[in-house]
Homo-oligomer: A and B are copies of this chain.
Amino acid sequence: MTAPTLRFEISEYRARLEATRKAMQRDGVDLLIVTDPANMAWITGYDGWSFYVHQCVLVRQDEDPIWFGREMDANGARRTVYMDESRIKSYGDHYVQSSQYHPMTALGSLIADLGWSKGVIGIEKDNYYFTHAAFEALSTVLPNALFKDTTRLVKWQRIVKSPREIEYMRAAGKIATAMHQRVAEVLRPGVKQSDVVAEIYHTAIHGVDGIWGDYPAAVPMIGAGIDASAPHLTWSDRELRSGESIFFELAGVHKRYHCPLSRTFYLGRPDQKFIDAETAVLEGMAAGLEKAVPGNACEDVAQAYYGVIESYGLKKPSRTGYSIGLAYPPDWGEHSASFRTGDRTELRPGMTFHFMSGLWFGDWGIEITESILITDSQPECLANSPRQLIVID
């Protein structure tokens, strides 16, 4: 079998492993069971749409990580991870989506066979792919283990991006820019939402400037007319109407690295409430971006934004950003730092966030956002799209 195509130097995977091991030592974790697909990819390179069945990476201090998954996916591991054949373990297909057998029983047996069944085992308790049934099956086979929550252990190691990761995110930013340009080209009254999204996807995957597009961890989310009151609806074939707004929350993606970006379009002449909201959002974003510098905390960005929009009589009862980077469905957020009151995470160069400044009200909404890189001075916007309400008249 030919060697897998790795997206990073082996030395970068090794450095990630060492950072993870240090965090394990700090937290007293002997064996780490990594079930988050982005964490699995970050540590080993593994990349495949197989997270719909149970799988994981095992990390110890003294030997290379082990990839564990469904038998038919072991070949996908062979094609994508940096470890050698001896570090790929799999379970039989009868464990898959069965009411009789659970893959975590097979994992528990493997752990016991390796002599790792005692001591502290870290589990990602709040990861989508570590269900309560997974815990029940695993803990039944490993009665002598002490389980500890490590939901965010690897996630926090990922928060400062490497130069190569930043390169991929800037590439994703170019794709996100092109996607919104394409929207502006095709958005007209009478056009179906689904036809706009078809164009968005074409641009997203074809890419731009020779940069190919990967699939996003969440599909395009749109809000037209009254549906703009809700941030997470998707499309239908409803035709766009003159005199209504529509927002698009999209991500450009390159090699699994994301750059989310939202813009709001108005078909026709926007009414005053949109113009006023645009003013508030843009001024709030400028205030937030000014605070997005090393040494400040995440909450400083949020409070700067909240302060401005509240001075305009608007309110945002939700966080106003979150860490981004490598991601798999269903979320492109990293589930570590957030721009919100109480989050004292110190901003450092190399961190990347989606400044999610969207506002949603009873029957309308507006989304104008940026994905940013924290630098030594002012933040860098990863995409390059006019930061305004885009009027299509």
- List residues of chain A with CB under 8 Å of any chain B CB: 1-2, 5, 47-52, 71-73, 75-76, 78-80, 92-94, 96-97, 99, 102, 123, 125-136, 149, 151-152, 192, 194-195, 197-199, 201-207, 212-215, 218-219, 221, 226-227, 229-237, 317-319, 322, 329-331, 333, 335, 338, 340, 342, 360, 362-363
Contact = CB atoms under 8 A, between A and B. Distances in A.
Given A131-B127, A318-B71, A97 B335 contact: yes
Given A51-B330, A79-B230, 18 more contacts: A1-B362, A2-B226, A48-B233, A49-B219, A49-B233, A49-B234, A72-B360, A75-B230, A79-B227, A97-B335, A130-B132, A132-B134, A132-B135, A194-B206, A195-B206, A201-B205, A207-B237, A214-B235
B126 A133 contact: yes
14 contacts: A49-B330, A52-B128, A52-B331, A71-B317, A72-B232, A92-B317, A102-B126, A128-B128, A132-B135, A192-B212, A195-B205, A198-B203, A201-B201, A207-B237
- Looking at A96, A123, A230, A333, the one whose CB has the most chain B CB atoms below 10 A away is A230
Nearest to A77: B230
Contact of A207 (B80, B99, B194, B333): B194
A99 B201 contact: no
A205 to B, nearest CB: 4
Most buried by B among A52, A129, A207: A52
B221 A194 contact: no
B206 A93 contact: no
A85 to B, nearest CB: 12
A70 B252 CA distance: 26
The 7 lowest CB-CB distance pairs between A and B, nearest first, are: A126-B133, A76-B230, A212-B237, A52-B331, A201-B201, A194-B212, A132-B135
Contact of A202 (B80, B198, B338): B198
Nearest to A320: B93
Contacts of A318: 71-72, 93, 96
A230 to B, nearest CB: 4
Given A49-B221, A79-B226, A97-B322, A194 B205 contact: yes
A152 B99 contact: yes
A250 to B, nearest CB: 12
Contacts of A97: 322, 333, 335, 338
A33 to B, nearest CB: 11
A97 to B, nearest CB: 5
Contacts of A152: 99
Contacts of A197: 205
B226 A212 contact: no
Nearest to A196: B205
User: Which of A97, A230, A340 gathers most chain B CB within 10 Å?
Assistant: A97
B149 A319 contact: no
A194 B203 CA distance: 11
Nearest to A199: B202
Nearest to A48: B232
Contact of A125 (B1, B71, B132): B132
A199 to B, nearest CB: 7
Most buried by B among A1, A131, A194, A213: A131
A321 to B, nearest CB: 12
Nearest to A51: B330
Contact of A133 (B71, B149, B232, B329): B149
A45 B355 CA distance: 31
B72 A231 contact: yes
A333 B75 CA distance: 22
B233 A1 contact: no
A334 B192 CA distance: 30
